[in-house]
Structure 1
Amino acid sequence: MFNTNAAGGDTKVTSALAANRLGVPAVTYFAISMCTPFTVLAGVTTTGYAVTGQIGIPIGFLAMGVALAVFCVGYVTMAPYVPNAGAFNAYVAKGLGRPLGVAASWVALVSYNAMQIGVYGALGDAAQPLLRAWFGIDIAWWVISLVGWAIVAVLGTQHIDLNGKVLAVLMIAECLVILVYAVSFLLHPAEGTVSLETLAPRHLFEPGVGALFCLAVLGFVGFETAVVFSEEAKVPGRTVPVATYLSLGLTTLLYVLGSWAMSVATGPGRITEQAGAHGSELVFRLAGDQLGVLMVGIGRFLYVTSVLACLIAFHNAAARYAFAMGRERLLPSFFGQTSSRNSSPRGGSILQSVLGFIAIICFGIAGLHPLRDVFFIWTSAGALGILLLIVLTSFAVVRFFATTLTPESTWKRAVAPVLAAASTLVAFMLVLVNFDVTLGVPPNSTLHWAIPGGYFLLLFAGLLWGFRLRSRAPRVYANIGLGAKSVTRTGLGLGTPDEQADTTRFDRIDHY
């Protein structure tokens, strides 16, 4: 299938990612930009209110933020042991075995690409009203998405720190406008008083609560990618944990505040009705009534740039997953190559650009609705895959610390990882049962089970491929999950595959 070099030939890559390029702020910008707060507020939250009929979205965001904070304890504690651009698959390979690591890498690649493809729909939907309001022109959403695609494709081949600087400007601006909008909404409550109804914990125990968790996961997708940039971080042992907690904390604050404030402005009893009637326009209608035309214009512009920032961040993350797989020969070696000019993951970036272009053209020809049919369904599918990876990673962290001698505290290596594994598994099961509500389709819809079923089939196929590599290509198999060390150790003869496969010894990359 792929060039696995069954004879056990050379497994070196052409080049490597640029080291020591990203500090805490840059990695945090990438993570928050992938979460894309304004897009979640204007697109995901309003569509979620309308499609699911649930008013407890703010408390859902808060509950998921707490669960993911517990997950992060073990996740970032294990990070120095697996500095790898393919974060999830490296964790799973080191904690649960290489065959499952192969399966996780396939799920990760599909999930992040599904997220990126879906966000192209959001870009077209966000830009259409802006172009009408500012220039009086009406352009098909997929044409707008192609313009965004070209910008993302060019930036994806540039220095990683250039992408970080672009994201910094866009992310700071969108966070500020969310805060301005939220404060205004809270100062203009629909019912005369600020209601806490949508923050009531009882909504977490209502029928269809799995839809809340899926929406919350969809909003938080990206916080985990700080680890993806560990090979390019200046001080990985400090940069990755700090950036992860910062991005998770800030996005939780923005999501809870923004979604709650919106329900206060419409009234908790009318939020689902208003969201269904106006969709992503609801935020701007409320802002227009309270803040005037200027702030609406600024908000519309930053909504567009928010989606664009999200696309840039997802492109970079997905490209690095493809790079990690190519480097370890789970994809053809071309994808494990980097640009000699700026060390960007050239092959992975090209793959994302090609897939994005094909998807946009096909969606345009099919006449799909950019928000409902492209953004919401594709990103929900991607979020389900990423939640599955979070569950696998949680159990990988538990097993890793149970079988590896480390100096970490009991809380970091045992208590928090076990709590995270249990809570993420429960969340995944709830999402799975209520996935039809999340998608807004009947329970007997093909999509309800086809998407989860596709992921489980992908896991099974990946497992089979991993076992095949173990018997047919032992040197390739031994490198799975090792990241850059798969190059330095095997490529330079600094260890046998059996030595590299030993995961029970203390093997930490500190860089503090």
Structure 2
Amino acid sequence: MSIAINAKAGSVSAVTDASDEQLDRGVLNTSSIVFMVLAVSAPLAVVVALMPIALAFGNGAGVPGAWLLCAVAMLLFAVGYVRQIPYVKNAGAFYAYISASIGRVIGLPAAYVAAVSYMALCISTLAALAFFCGDMFAMATGIDTPWQLWAFINIILVVWLAYHRITMVATVLAFALLAEIAAIMALNVAIIMRSGFPAFNLGDFAPSSVFAPGLGIALIYAFNSMIGFEGTAIYQEEARNRKTTVPRATFIAVIIAGLLYAITAWCLSTAVGSLNVSSIAAADPGHFVTARANDFLGSWSVTLFGLLVVTSAFAAVLGLFNNSARYIYALARDGVLPARLAKTHPVYKSPHVSAIFLGAVLVVSTAIAASAGLDPLLNISPMFVGVGSIGLMVLLMLTALGIPVFFAKRGVFGWTTTVAPGIGGLAIAGATYLAATNYSALTGVDSPLVNGLPLILVAASVIGFAQALWLRSNRKEAYEMIGASRIEDTTN
């Protein structure tokens, strides 16, 4: 039995599994979900674009330890996060979890902030993807093409994939992710084999190295690279045996990402010498990783890395787009947004209406940016990456700190329900503070306009807060549906 809301009349009625508002159940296994969430973080893009900046302006040789600290904080958060899964049965992730722990009045604003944040990251990554596609095409043919052409081509591809069955998306992301991880590990192995194990200094993980000046900057980029792992819960309605699959996928994704980034940072640092890594990375952060690839793998690898950055960016756009679509879908199904956005495809069971709507948003955003003469890499990408990152970090903090509250309401206290998520939440809160107070480090620019864009998140949260209060006073039944359970625990 499920609950359907008439958005116009505000009435609530019980129906039996409204098939036109149901996602495809039981089609995603553990590996599929892992691929989906890891693809959102774009590992190769993190290594090529973010890690050199952390090495250059962060704590230098202590950067591998900074990534490990981040991974530990995320694991502590995950310990409590997965304990909530039997209770929170909704594709809304942040939205549903915050509603269940802190309350619906905060949960609804969180949903709007999450949707805006994922779309901001999607727009940012799409702009970078369009630039790289045009750049690669020019190198291959000698023909210059407008970046917006590549943006529109990629929007069509993303919407087409999101329109179809989720397993098709998972397959595409799996191939892209495995290719980029293979490239990263090939470089790591080459550095290890040539340098030898004695060259790797365990002192890089000593407190004196990790907690050196610049740790705050390093943590900003470390946490930014780990954003998206809460997305495992977004796919719980489509997961096989969600109570087992989603927790397992969450832990696997965090461990793989944490170890991959820490090992890669250590290898890159060792390749040039721990004492020299900050100055060498600062001299040319944009080519720091490809220069190491050229040195340790050969010139052919530079071309390969360039190609895989494109596929990595595409996978990230696709993953972010799917997350956004499911937030819009969840909000519409709960009666907060127009009911039409909650419709699923009769054959593919995908949130195809939400996907088409978000595709239109991307088209309009691209057209506006192009008409304004904005550069995709220098203007659009930094404009939106900070908005998305800070928004998701705030929501991650609220979700983590809300877990002990959720279980305290039920009289449950312990390591997994109180202590671990509480410590993880405080660590994430510290990183969020560092990101907010060093916001220009996220965007990479000093423009007051760019660094003032997080006000969009404030506006979104105010709208959500006001709507929640109005629903509580005027449409009690609709208010009660915010973040409501949507999964019957039979086989799932």
3-state SS of paired residue (2:408): helix
| AA matched with 1:162 | M
Shift of 1:470: 0.6
Shift of 1:171: 1.2
Aligned pairs, number? 483
Shift of 1:305: 1.1
**1:364-379 equivalent positions in 2, closer than 5 A:** 364-379=370-385
Specify the alignment match of 1:333 in structure 2: 339
2:324 is aligned, of 303, 310, 318, to 318
Q: Once the two structures are superposed, what CA deviation does each residue of 1:403-422 show, in whole Å capped at 9, x if it has no partner? A: 1256xx72212221222232
1:465 is aligned, of 464, 467, 485, to 467
Specify the alignment match of 2:250 in structure 1: 244
3-state SS of paired residue (1:80): coil
TM-score (normalizing by structure 2): 0.89
1:160 is aligned, of 154, 160, 166, to 166
Q: Once the two structures are superposed, what CA deviation does each residue of 1:379-424 show, in whole Å capped at 9, x if it has no partner? A: 2321111111011111221111001256xx7221222122223222
Bigger shift: residues 248-257 or 203-212 = 203-212
Specify the alignment match of 2:137 in structure 1: 131
Shift of 1:289: 2.8
Specify the alignment match of 2:40 in structure 1: 34
Where does structure 2 lack aligned partners over 5 or more consecutive residues?
none
- CA change 1:388–1:256 in 2 (3 A) is same
Specify the alignment match of 2:416 in structure 1: 412
Q: Tell me how far apart the structure 1 counterparts of residues 30 and 211 of structure 2 sit (CA, whole Å).
A: 37
- CA change 1:152–1:79 in 2 (3 A) is same
Q: Does structure 1 retain, via aligned residues, the 8 Å contact 2:59–2:210?
A: no
Q: Tell me how far apart the structure 2 counterparts of residues 124 and 454 of structure 1 sit (CA, whole Å).
A: 24
Q: Tell me how far apart the structure 2 counterparts of residues 53 and 480 of structure 1 sit (CA, whole Å).
A: 41
Q: Tell me how far apart the structure 2 counterparts of residues 135 and 57 of structure 1 sit (CA, whole Å).
A: 39
- CA change 1:182–1:366 in 2 (3 A) is farther
Q: Tell me how far apart the structure 1 counterparts of residues 53 and 152 of structure 2 sit (CA, whole Å).
A: 24
1:98 is aligned, of 92, 95, 104, to 104
Q: Tell me how far apart the structure 2 counterparts of residues 470 and 214 of structure 1 sit (CA, whole Å).
A: 37
Q: Tell me how far apart the structure 2 counterparts of residues 82 and 483 of structure 1 sit (CA, whole Å).
A: 6
Shift of 1:4: 4.5
| AA matched with 1:477 | Y
| AA matched with 2:387 | A
Shift of 1:441: 4.1
Shift of 1:127: 3.1
Shift of 1:111: 0.6
Shift of 1:465: 1.5
Specify the alignment match of 2:438 in structure 1: 434
Q: Does structure 1 retain, via aligned residues, the 8 Å contact 2:151–2:366?
A: yes
Shift of 1:370: 3.3
Q: Does structure 2 retain, via aligned residues, the 8 Å contact 1:25–1:243?
A: yes
Q: Tell me how far apart the structure 1 counterparts of residues 409 and 47 of structure 2 sit (CA, whole Å).
A: 42
- CA change 1:59–1:370 in 2 (3 A) is farther
Q: Does structure 2 retain, via aligned residues, the 8 Å contact 1:208–1:437?
A: no
Q: Tell me how far apart the structure 2 counterparts of residues 94 and 510 of structure 1 sit (CA, whole Å).
A: 22
1:383 is aligned, of 370, 382, 389, to 389
Specify the alignment match of 2:365 in structure 1: 359
Shift of 1:27: 0.6
Q: Tell me how far apart the structure 1 counterparts of residues 174 and 53 of structure 2 sit (CA, whole Å).
A: 27
Specify the alignment match of 2:23 in structure 1: 17
| AA matched with 1:482 | A
Q: Tell me how far apart the structure 1 counterparts of residues 431 and 490 of structure 2 sit (CA, whole Å).
A: 33
**1:169-188 equivalent positions in 2, closer than 5 A:** 169-187=175-193
**1:446-465 equivalent positions in 2, closer than 5 A:** 446-448=449-451, 450-465=452-467
Q: Tell me how far apart the structure 1 counterparts of residues 14 and 48 of structure 2 sit (CA, whole Å).
A: 46
Q: Once the two structures are superposed, what CA deviation does each residue of 1:309-352 show, in whole Å capped at 9, x if it has no partner? A: 11111111111011001101221112111111211001221122
- CA change 1:3–1:259 in 2 (3 A) is farther
Specify the alignment match of 1:500 in structure 2: none
In the alignment, structure 1 residue 422 sits paired with structure 2 residue 426: yes
Specify the alignment match of 2:484 in structure 1: 482
| AA matched with 1:432 | A
Q: Tell me how far apart the structure 2 counterparts of residues 461 and 208 of structure 1 sit (CA, whole Å).
A: 37
Shift of 1:19: 0.4
- CA change 1:434–1:145 in 2 (3 A) is same
| AA matched with 1:310 | A
Q: Tell me how far apart the structure 1 counterparts of residues 189 and 330 of structure 2 sit (CA, whole Å).
A: 43
- CA change 1:139–1:47 in 2 (3 A) is farther
Specify the alignment match of 2:78 in structure 1: 72
Q: Tell me how far apart the structure 2 counterparts of residues 433 and 207 of structure 1 sit (CA, whole Å).
A: 16
Shift of 1:136: 3.8
Q: Tell me how far apart the structure 2 counterparts of residues 344 and 71 of structure 1 sit (CA, whole Å).
A: 30
In the alignment, structure 1 residue 8 sits paired with structure 2 residue 11: yes
Q: Does structure 2 retain, via aligned residues, the 8 Å contact 1:209–1:434?
A: no
- CA change 1:234–1:394 in 2 (3 A) is same
2:125 is aligned, of 102, 112, 119, to 119
Bigger shift: residues 218-227 or 234-243 = 218-227
Q: Tell me how far apart the structure 1 counterparts of residues 291 and 141 of structure 2 sit (CA, whole Å).
A: 19
Q: Tell me how far apart the structure 2 counterparts of residues 367 and 270 of structure 1 sit (CA, whole Å).
A: 40
3-state SS of paired residue (2:25): coil
Q: Tell me how far apart the structure 2 counterparts of residues 112 and 391 of structure 1 sit (CA, whole Å).
A: 16
| AA matched with 1:166 | V
Q: Does structure 2 retain, via aligned residues, the 8 Å contact 1:58–1:259?
A: yes
Q: Tell me how far apart the structure 1 counterparts of residues 324 and 26 of structure 2 sit (CA, whole Å).
A: 20
Q: Does structure 2 retain, via aligned residues, the 8 Å contact 1:173–1:302?
A: yes
Q: Tell me how far apart the structure 1 counterparts of residues 98 and 356 of structure 2 sit (CA, whole Å).
A: 26
Where does structure 1 lack aligned partners over 5 or more consecutive residues?
489-508
| AA matched with 2:461 | L
Shift of 1:363: 3.1
**1:271-290 equivalent positions in 2, closer than 5 A:** 271-272=277-278, 274-275=280-281, 278-290=284-296
TM-score (normalizing by structure 1): 0.86
Kindly report structure 1 stretches of 4+ aligned residues shifted beyond 6 Å: none
Shift of 1:195: 5.1
- CA change 1:148–1:438 in 2 (3 A) is same
In the alignment, structure 1 residue 304 sits paired with structure 2 residue 306: no
- CA change 1:279–1:426 in 2 (3 A) is closer
Give aligned-pair identity as a percent. 28
